[in-house]
Structure 1
């Protein structure tokens, strides 16, 4: 797996994207927008456990009060909506994948993106985001990151200039609920090796530069 190097300065996120999403959705799109390659169309991989929860909560409130929901809001509440909006805004016909895998959503999203790049030889942009749910959801929040997280990565073939090689491995091992995205980010920032224990797998990353 190789992560793209220097990122060029891009114009701000278009207003057409900013005004249609929630606060965390806007941050996720801004992060993905910043790492888009200057040329070509990467595969988009969106990973999130809960998606834009504020929008979903609003729809549930509307449904409880009136038995009706806004069609426009509902169309943007599907899990892959942000990837679809980004594809439309960039004219990207490469396609996209949305991954929701519980507390290990980041790990499986990264695995999906890296596998695509290895098989197809073209870049992929992974953008991951999540924020904790309200306390009333505590029984189903085991393994959630305790702080909001938005992270976007451009994965590229090894032949690309300034590509940074990273090794990833996982093994089936049930255990605790480490925050995978934070463990991976620490490897990006500090080098070396990182290990995160998810609920079903142990994930390991190593800077191979």
Structure 2
């Protein structure tokens, strides 16, 4: 659903682009490995799935964050790199950190897709009330736009789904989503929003 695309209105420094590309490549390369599980003794103290993911992903997340810190050094006003830090923290199930960095991205540029990300990370961190406030704001932002891209329409519907507005979400899906597969998936998500969120983030 939610996606953050680098936009051309504020051109980032070329060095920032290079550091970001390295961070993404590093994470992708790590996730494609077959031997990412650490020694079993390190996992013995993990009591939850989130604990396990954090333990497994800690080193790679730290390495990616160092690269993104360098990206921000050269483009400190560009929201994209704050959002990237949030996304890569979420890859390691560090949801409080992810929410904090997405809020920083929002301070740079108030976009509904960023706020949707913040809401999802807050919900995964257990901050249900704050997450619901984000979803309502996202829906309000999209509802006032004259035109919505296909991605906007999906994010709008997903915000309504996560906010628990089942009937409103279904109405929005029926009126705005023309892609058959996307319609089917979104309608299924209205039955169990938490399961839909867990499918996106561990």
Greater share of strand: 1
* Fold shared, TM-score > 0.5 on shorter chain: no
Ranked by relative contact order (alpha carbons within 8 Å, sequence separation 6 or more), the top structure is: 1
**TM-score for the superposition, normalised by structure 1:** 0.28
**TM-score for the superposition, normalised by structure 2:** 0.29
Greater share of helix: 2
